[in-house]
Structure 1
Amino acid sequence: MSDRAKILLVDDREENLIALEAILSSLDLVPVRARSGEEALKALLNTEFALILLDVRMPGMDGFETASHIKRRERTRNIPIIFLTVVDSAPDYAFRSYAAGAVDYLTKPFDPWVLRAKVAVFVELYNMNRRLTEQASMLRDRLAGELSPGDAADQAAVLPELSRRLAAVEDEFIRVGELARKTGDPSLTGALADLSHRLDHLRAGLDALS
């Protein structure tokens, strides 16, 4: 897996997009701009994103409507969304954000460190999920017997290699979990629990084969 994670930045104001890119510039990711909800939905058709930073107040299709479309699509419904809006927004914006499926809600001007830390953890979780998907595919191939009985050398090599890769992800998960606890961000709880379940499931399958 060599592709860097992509983050979709959705805001109708150019200066806000530039500011977001500057805040995230130190992270190992690729920011992708969208100037409207419609542009965001088009970008989501052909590109896989680790996270969406979505402005609430935009002309035409606002952030809530955009999020509603995203969550209705099978391909995009599980992409985490963090809503961004100005501090003087209506008092029900936070409730509406979570009701629309957002994992978090930040008001502008926000602390750049807080946003960067949140994005960094979501990107780490996304990358770990991709690695787990690859390793689960290897395990399924092994269970399906794609390695014939005569391929003894290959059979002897694939399980230790898979175990080594899984151990590396487990170590990284511990590190990311500690980072998440330091940020004190409750929005990460669900993503961490889901990844922990996937790790346990894959480890159990590997142990059964070993």
Structure 2
Amino acid sequence: MIASSSRMRGLVLVAAASAILLLTGCATAQTDAAAPRASTPPSAARVAPAPTPTPTPTAPEEPAVWTIGFASVGPITLGSEIASVDRSMDGFTRAVYEGCESVVAFEKAHVPTIVIPDRLGTGLVEQIVLMGNVDELGLAEGAPRTAEGIGVGSSLTELRAAYPDIEFQGDPPTPHYGLSDEAGHWILFTLYEDVVQTIVVRDMPVVNREYCS
């Protein structure tokens, strides 16, 4: 009977201890649950820099859109340095003919040959000559033109319609038609079988028969 009482008191003590531990665990759990958690600041949003656009190369103008003026043909200007002309002639082949070092020519398919003679040896553009084979297919479409639309390959009828007052120069070396401005610049046209074959821009109304002399 005494042993039963001792066992009973032991169970009561164990149960009491378990209850205390259980209550302590709950209190701890409630304390943890009630404790405010430190908030972690959101990381700053990273914005990727915009890619730098790659510049689109500008295609050089085709000679077909060049304008023949009284002092220039497209980017080539009377009085400029011949050495600087190369930078404006993308797509052309530069040629210096044997035995004719005073003449520089620029050639391109379906475009009149552009000849720059340096007869005086100044190194400057004294005249600009456009020469073409009028029988070449597509040559007229690729040729530079005056503001009135005349270029190598134009007909005599078109030339006279564009310039009703154009003068015919019947000089023995090379008969031609000519226009001048108030500054004394000329645009000269030679024809073959009533088709414009050569156009010369210079400061005098003369078309040379030879350029190598």
Normalised to the residue count of structure 2, the TM-score between the two structures is 0.23
Larger fraction in strand? 2
Structure number with the higher helix fraction is 1
TM-score (norm 1): 0.23
- Which of 1 and 2 has greater Rg? 2
